[in-house]
Chain A
Amino acid sequence: MKLLYFAWLKTKTGIAEEEVTPPPEVATVAELLAWLQTRGPGYADALADLSALRVAVNQEYAKPGDPVGSGDEVALFPPVTGG
């Protein structure tokens, strides 16, 4: 699974993108975020407030219950501020 981080998610985790292999019980967006929170202080800080987070799976906005799998591209970012 490919993870992408944008804006302050990138600053706090210290990475722009990475390949990860979550444990097999991680099947949804919510489970993925919960697993990421356990990966170190930078992740715990970046993912401390899930209400401030938006998630896209394969470049489509996703909800907490949406499925995620090994071949997916999952992006984490704050609410958008373009225009």
Chain B
Amino acid sequence: MIRVQQDDFDVGAEIAALSAGNHAVGGVAVFIGVVRDLAGAAAIGAMTLEHYPGMTESMLERIEAEAKDRWPLEASLIIHRYGRLEPGERIVLVATASAHRQAAFEACEFLVDWLKTKAPFWKLEESAAGAKWVEARVSDDQAAARWHAPSGARDSDAAE
């Protein structure tokens, strides 16, 4: 399941709901992205996440479907927030449930790597120097690229 929302989410409730009633689940892996108060040397007062409504949802659904093709997942959840967020606030939740830990860990990492390079979100950071759009990192592209299957499973190479 994917959700794109302005509001915060209840981590405990979301994780509990993910595997509730499904006793085939042996493990749940979770990643939570949080707003830092530093960008390089600059102190960040807040950030605003902009996104492309419609395309955001369809890209997240596609990334989730890709993970389910690659790993035996019992359930998965991506929640990504948009709007103005202050340091310490949660940005994103990615959770994967599987019979065994390896699939849950790997799929969770894959989902985070791919959403960072494919889902249409942009961060605008506010500091004392003014507002600045965050630039994409080469290291994020490299992290995403290591998941490319030799058979080239589901393509979206234009995103790199």
A: residues with CB less than 8 A from B are 4, 6-8, 11, 54, 56, 59, 61-63, 75, 77-83
Contacts and interface: CB of A to CB of B under 8 A. Distances in A.
If over half of A's interface residues share one DSSP class (helix, strand or loop), that class is named, otherwise mixed; here it is loop
Contact of A80 (B54, B92, B112, B119): B119
Given A56-B52, A59-B52, A61-B159, A83 B115 contact: yes
A63 B158 contact: yes
Chain B interface SS verdict (over half)? mixed
Interface of B: 33, 49-52, 54-55, 58, 80, 91-92, 112, 115-124, 133-136, 156, 158-159
B124 A80 contact: no
A7 B122 CA distance: 6
Q: Which of B33, B92, B117 has the most CB of A within 10 A?
A: B117
A81 B49 CA distance: 9
Contacts of B120: 6, 56, 75, 77, 80, 82
Contacts of B33: 83
B55 A54 contact: no
A17 to B, nearest CB: 11
A7 B48 CA distance: 10
B158 A83 contact: no
23 contacts: A4-B52, A6-B120, A6-B122, A56-B52, A56-B120, A59-B52, A61-B118, A61-B158, A63-B158, A75-B52, A77-B52, A77-B122, A78-B133, A80-B118, A80-B122, A80-B136, A81-B116, A81-B133, A81-B136, A82-B120, A82-B123, A83-B91, A83-B121
